[in-house]
Structures are given as structure tokens and as C-alpha cells.
């Protein structure tokens, strides 16, 4: 055993964002860059010696090198054992499931999620704690502070790199490396939650599904669950082979990046059900035949029908949604007599509510849905939940959603992303908007829209009392409409402004308008009040979902 202490110097900017540290691959390839961050994580975790760490990633470019490095560093930092997914692969929700099931100390996830991969793309790393959830803000801030003081890191320098492409147990210095099947624990958990017999019968009755894994880590999970366990015909899962560059695509399941799937789901011959997951398989997109569902509506419909699904038969303790997510779920919570919590963007804010039993289902507008079964959003879980509902209700995606709108009203919803704005300009836009807040309440914006209140969202965690300020500017209109502005915390180039637009329509006679048209007045007001075109110099949003 030969542990080396390597002198190093801090890198600026190793502060985790909405979900871990994400940078261009070239940044992570700099000598010591990954090592510094990993050492800072270990230094910030007292009591990790002698413990078990879970390790895996979404298979993107640089995943394998990072696995080799982290294994050697875990050995040198006194971990007793690392559980690593075969091939270095583990989806984000699977890491969460493995940490919880095997009572591990924590886990490291190698992913930049929905960001593009490959040598020119992005890489990322994130630490999850013993509850299986993303490190809370106080921990990510402590990790960042440590990166800024780091003088050395420890690494095991002896011997060959460990083979992590075949199952089994190996030794690295004083540490055990156990290579596990990335799918097994996760697939078992899904079978505890959902009615696999009903879903098998749905496929046996010649219903068809198309699952697009976007050449990312969801492929092996989807094949094992839909094709092997549920008997869906081979070919149900497309783009099921994880590729280092995701085939050159954005592994981001939304109407802008999953156009192929949307096309495949249109027309009389289309499958009954379509779905996709992102780079690390924690996001989901749900489609019916000729029908695109918003994630906010998805959360609301799942909550409405949760007791049809075995894992949620006892009902929901509460619902939680990120602030920009539409308020469709709030209506369901009110009908069920439970609380709908409103948290800042990012799954780390759901952890305490889930641990304390205050929420059962959680969701974000960004194609993220999940529950208390793990502490991450979970793409395959959401797809199985929908499939279970289709199978047990005998209804289609569109029928379920239209019935939901008829009962609760429709929340027209869209997100406009303005990408690649020079950081200084985006900061100026937000600063101006924040400065204008006191004068906005009461303003009549035309088209019957009057601002009732305007603020910068702050969140006090009801469990530990921690406060998170500056989580997004909200304009709340008297008729219940909303506009929210915030800057992305996952991008790696310039700044991305996200503008979230929502309008509530109770009358079923008006539930069939084109979404952008229904939101037209709000889109106009957003640009007028924030000066988006003026600040960004751009003529239109880059991505509309
Ligand atoms: C985005 C989404 C947010 C999500 C985060 C991580 O963050 O808006 O809802 O939790 O990505 O998702 P931001 O700060 O860029 O808006 V994933 O699937 O990329 O880990
Ligand atoms: Co993701």
C-alpha cells in the first residue's frame, strides 16, 4: 500500500451549483482539478474512515478516468469499501437507491445530467449523503470553502487500475472495491412500488410504448424493466446504448430536444405511450399519442391518482414542488387536504421534507418527478408510475390529463430559456429587476393583468430552519397568473435566464388553446418589465418548453 500526498493549489470556481459541480470536460481534465474537489468533499465529511462509498456515473466522456481516480483517492482517504456500478455506470436515482438499501455513508455521482457530453461537452460531480439525497446547501458551501484552502490531496499510487467492467470484489490498497450490477437494486425497488402484473397485462394486450433513453444511462434500466421484466417487445427502448457523447445530442428530454420521439408519437399508428429520460436518468418526459404533457401537470395527475399504485395506496403525506413549477399540484393537495410545499429549484431542497415525512411526492417543472422511495428525482420511476396508471385505469395519457383539467382547471405553462447571455448582462438584468420590485405591486400591465405582489423568493426550511435567499423573482398577478425569473445554476457557458410563465384557466371551454398563445400577454409583460431583449441583445428565447 503506498499512499501519496500530492501538493496542490486551489482552483477558483469549484462551487457546486443547482446540482453539483459542472464544468467543461477540458476544465476537469486539468491536472489536480477533479482530485482537489474530491479531497475537499472527503475533508468535509468527518467520520468517513472505515465507511462505504457508492460510486457511478452516466457514462459520459471522462467517466472512466474519474472512476479510476476516485477509487484510488477513496482508498487513500480511509474508506473501507466502494460499491461501484459495472462499467462505472449508475443512474442518479440508482445511486440514491443503493446508498439507502446498503446503508452506505454516501455516494459520488459523475454526471452533468442533461448537459451535452463528449470531449467538447460537460462533465460533473456531485456528493450525496447517507439519506441518498444531494448534499444540502450548508454542506456544498463547506465543500466549496475547503476547495479554496486545499494544499494537498491523498491518492493510492500502487498497482494497476481496478477492473470495474466485471462483477466481483477486488482489493485496492486497504480498501475493498465491489463492482455491482447497476440495475439490480433499482429494479427490485421498482417491483416493490408498482403493479408489474397489471403492466405486463397492458403490454400483453398489444398496447405499445416507445422509450427513448437518449443514448444515456437510462438505457440499461429501461431495457431490463420494460423489455425483460414487463415483456414489452424488443425495440420498445430506443437509443438504449449509453454513449460517451450521447450520439452528439442534448440528453435533455423536452419538446426541444426529443423531437424524434414526439414525431414517433404522432399519427394514428403511433404507440399508446411515449417516454424519455435524460443523461443520468433522473428526468422524465411523458407523451401520449399526439399528446405532450407538461411536467407540472404530470406531478398533479400522479398526486390525484396515487392511491391506484401499490406503493402509494396509503395516500400522500404531502406534496412538494419547486417554486417555478406550476400550481396544478396545489389544487390537488387542497382537494386531498394535504400541504403542498414550495421550495427553491433543485432536488436538494426536498430532502428534509422527505426525511421528515412531510412530503411523499415531489416535482419540478424541468421534467423532474420523484417520491420518498429515494432522495433524487427519478426518470424511470415516473414512467412506471404513468404506465401503472394507464394499466390500472384503462385510460390513455390524454384522457387522464383532460379529466384532470376538467376537474381542477388547466394551468397553461411554459419556460423560456435565454441561453449564453454574457454573465455581466444577465446579472444586470436581474439586479434591475430586483431593484424595481418595490414599484411593481399594483401595476396594471394591460390585457387585464394587474400585479398583486412581486418579490424575490426566499425559503425557510421547515425542518432545520435554514434560510435560502435570492431564489428567483416572482410576479404574482391578481388573476392567479405568474411570471418567474431566475438564472440557471447548471450551465457552463455564460448565463442562462429562465423565464417561467403560468396562467390558470378554470373553464373547460377554454382548455384547448395553443400554449404560447394562451400565455401571449405574459410573454409580452415579461420582456417589458425585465428588458430581456434589451439586456441580452437577443431577439428570441433559445429554447421554449
Ligand atoms: C436545472 C433545473 C432544475 C433541476 C436542475 C438539475 O437547474 O431548472 O429544476 O433541478 O437543472 O437537473 P437550473 O439551475 O439550471 O435551472 V439535472 O437532471 O440537470 O441534475
Ligand atoms: Co438529470
* DSSP H/E element including 521: helix 520-530
How does the average pLDDT of the chain come out, rounded? 97
Whats the size of the chain, residue-wise?
Answer: 545
- The separation between CA 444 and the C-alpha centre of its own chain, rounded to angstroms, equals 36
User: How far away, in angstroms, is 115 Cα from ligand 1 center?
Assistant: 10
End-to-end CA distance of the chain: 53
345 lines ligand 1 (CB under 6 A): yes
pLDDT value, residue 160: 85
CB atoms within 10 A of CB 537: 9
pLDDT at 493 over 90: no
Q: Mutate which of 251, 320, 486, 490 to test ligand 1's pocket (most atoms within 8 Å of Cβ)?
A: 490
Q: Mutate which of 17, 92, 368 to test ligand 1's pocket (most atoms within 8 Å of Cβ)?
A: 368
- Residue 210 pairs in a beta bridge with 274
pLDDT value, residue 492: 85
pLDDT value, residue 491: 82
User: How far away, in angstroms, is 480 Cα from ligand 2 center?
Assistant: 30
* DSSP H/E element including 40: helix 33-43
- Residue 285 pairs in a beta bridge with 276
C-alpha to C-alpha distance for 261 and 190, rounded to whole angstroms:
24
Q: Mutate which of 345, 351, 419 to test ligand 1's pocket (most atoms within 8 Å of Cβ)?
A: 345
The ligand placed nearest to the CA atom of residue 125 is 1
C-alpha to C-alpha distance for 298 and 313, rounded to whole angstroms:
18
What totals of helices (H) and strands (E) does the chain contain, helices first?
A: 18, 26
* DSSP H/E element including 473: strand 473-477
- The arithmetic mean of pLDDT across residues 401-414, rounded, is 98
Q: Percentage of residues in the chain with pLDDT exceeding 90?
A: 97
User: How far away, in angstroms, is 278 Cα from ligand 2 center?
Assistant: 6
* Non-local CB neighbours of 400 within 8 Å, separated by 6+ positions: 301, 305, 389, 390, 393
Confirm whether 96 is a catalytic residue.
Answer: no
User: How far away, in angstroms, is 79 Cα from ligand 2 center?
Assistant: 27
Q: What's the burial of 186, exposed, middle or buried (CB within 10 Å: 0-12/13-18/19+)? A: buried
Sheet of 209-212: strand order equals: 237-238, 209-212, 273-277, 284-288, 291-292
Q: pTM score, two decimals?
A: 0.96
pLDDT at 71 over 80: yes
The residue whose CA is least distant from atom 11 of ligand 1 is: 490
282 lines ligand 1 (CB under 6 A): yes
Calculate helix-pair angle for 295-305, 328-336, nearest 10 degrees. Answer: 10
Q: What are phi and psi of 217, to 5 degrees?
A: -70, -15
C-alpha to C-alpha distance for 118 and 151, rounded to whole angstroms:
30
- The arithmetic mean of pLDDT across residues 326-340, rounded, is 98
- The arithmetic mean of pLDDT across residues 481-502, rounded, is 94
Asked if 367 contacts 254 with a C-beta cutoff of 8 angstroms, the reply is: yes
pLDDT at 187 over 90: yes
Tell how strand 318-322 and strand 339-343 pair up: parallel
Helix (H, G, I), strand (E, B) or coil at 50: coil
- State the Cα angle at 266 between 263 and 271, rounded to 5°: 105
- The arithmetic mean of pLDDT across residues 476-486, rounded, is 97
* Non-local CB neighbours of 162 within 8 Å, separated by 6+ positions: 68, 71, 170, 172, 177
C-alpha to C-alpha distance for 20 and 22, rounded to whole angstroms:
6
Q: What is the DSSP secondary structure assignment for residue 48, as one 8-state letter?
A: -
pLDDT value, residue 1: 65
Give pLDDT tens digits for 432-473.
999 999 999 999 999 999 999 999 999 999 999 999 999 999
Give pLDDT tens digits for 508-536.
999 999 999 999 999 999 999 999 999 99
Amino acid at each position: 500500500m503506498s499512499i501519496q500526498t500530492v501538493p496542490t493549489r486551489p482552483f477558483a470556481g469549484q462551487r457546486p451549483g443547482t446540482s453539483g459541480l459542472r464544468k467543461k470536460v477540458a476544465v476537469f481534465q486539468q491536472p489536480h482539478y477533479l482530485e482537489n474537489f474530491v479531497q475537499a468533499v472527503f475533508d468535509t465529511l468527518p467520520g468517513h474512515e472505515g465507511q462505504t462509498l457508492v460510486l457511478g456515473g452516466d457514462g459520459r466522456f471522462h467517466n472512466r478516468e474519474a472512476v479510476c481516480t476516485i477509487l484510488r483517492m477513496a482508498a487513500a482517504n480511509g474508506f473501507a469499501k466502494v460499491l461501484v456500478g459495472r462499467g462505472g455506470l449508475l443512474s442518479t436515482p440508482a445511486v440514491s437507491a443503493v446508498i439507502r438499501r446498503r446503508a452506505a455513508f454516501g455516494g459520488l455521482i459523475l454526471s452533468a445530467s442533461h448537459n451535452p457530453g463528449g470531449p467538447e461537452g460537460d462533465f460533473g460531480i456531485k456528493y450525496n449523503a447517507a439519506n441518498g439525497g444531494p448534499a444540502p446547501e450548508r454542506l456544498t458551501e463547506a465543500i466549496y470553502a475547503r476547495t479554496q484552502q486545499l494544499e494537498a490531496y491523498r491518492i493510492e499510487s500502487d498497482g494497476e487500475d481496478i477492473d470495474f467492467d466485471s462483477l466481483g470484489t477486488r482489493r485496492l490498497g486497504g480498501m475493498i472495491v465491489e463492482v455491482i450490477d447497476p440495475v439490480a437494486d433499482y429494479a427490485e425497488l421498482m417491483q416493490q412500488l408498482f403493479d408489474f402484473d397489471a403492466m405486463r397485462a397492458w403490454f400483453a394486450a398489444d398496447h405499445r410504448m416507445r422509450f427513448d433513453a437518449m443514448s444515456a444511462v437510462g438505457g440499461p434500466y429501461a431495457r431490463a424493466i420494460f423489455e425483460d421484466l414487463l415483456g414489452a417487445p424488443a425495440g420498445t427502448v430506443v437509443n438504449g446504448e449509453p454513449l460517451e457523447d450521447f450520439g452528439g445530442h442534448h440528453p435533455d428530454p423536452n419538446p426541444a430536444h426529443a423531437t424524434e420521439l414526439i414525431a414517433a408519437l404522432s399519427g394514428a399508428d403511433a404507440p399508446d405511450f411515449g417516454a424519455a429520460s435524460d443523461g443520468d436518468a433522473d428526468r422524465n418526459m411523458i407523451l401520449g399519442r399526439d399528446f405532450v404533457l407538461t411536467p407540472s401537470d404530470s406531478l398533479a395527475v400522479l398526486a390525484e391518482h396515487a392511491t391506484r399504485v401499490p406503493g402509494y395506496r396509503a395516500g400522500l403525506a404531502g406534496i412538494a414542488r419547486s417554486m417555478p413549477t406550476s400550481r396544478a399540484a396545489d389544487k390537488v393537495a387542497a382537494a386531498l387536504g394535504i400541504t403542498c410545499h414550495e421550495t427553491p429549484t433543485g432536488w436538494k431542497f426536498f430532502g428534509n421534507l422527505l426525511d421528515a415525512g412531510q412530503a411523499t411526492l415531489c416535482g419540478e417543472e424541468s421534467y423532474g418527478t420523484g417520491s420518498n422511495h429515494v432522495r433524487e428525482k427519478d426518470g424511470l420511476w415516473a414512467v412506471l408510475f404513468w404506465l401503472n396508471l394507464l394499466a390500472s385505469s384503462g385510460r390513455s395519457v390524454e384522457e387522464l390529463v383532460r379529466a384532470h383539467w376538467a376537474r381542477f382547471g388547466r394551468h397553461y405553462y411554459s419556460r423560456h430559456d435565454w441561453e449564453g447571455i454574457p454573465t455581466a448582462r444577465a446579472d444586470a438584468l436581474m439586479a434591475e429587476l430586483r431593484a424595481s420590485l418595490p414599484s411593481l405591486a399594483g401595476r396594471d400591465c394591460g390585457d387585464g393583468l394587474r400585479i398583486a405582489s412581486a418579490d424575490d423568493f426566499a425559503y425557510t426550511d421547515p425542518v432545520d430552519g435554514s434560510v435560502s435567499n435570492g431564489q428567483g423573482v416572482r410576479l404574482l398577478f391578481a388573476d392567479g397568473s405568474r411570471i418567474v425569473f431566475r438564472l440557471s445554476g447548471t450551465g457552463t457557458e455564460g448565463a442562462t435566464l429562465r423565464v417561467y410563465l403560468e396562467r390558470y384557466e378554470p373553464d373547460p371551454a377554454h382548455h384547448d388553446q395553443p400554449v404560447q398563445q394562451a400565455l401571449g400577454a405574459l410573454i409580452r409583460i415579461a420582456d417589458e418589465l425585465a428588458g430581456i431583449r434589451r439586456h441580452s441583445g437577443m431577439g428570441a428565447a433559445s429554447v421554449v418548453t
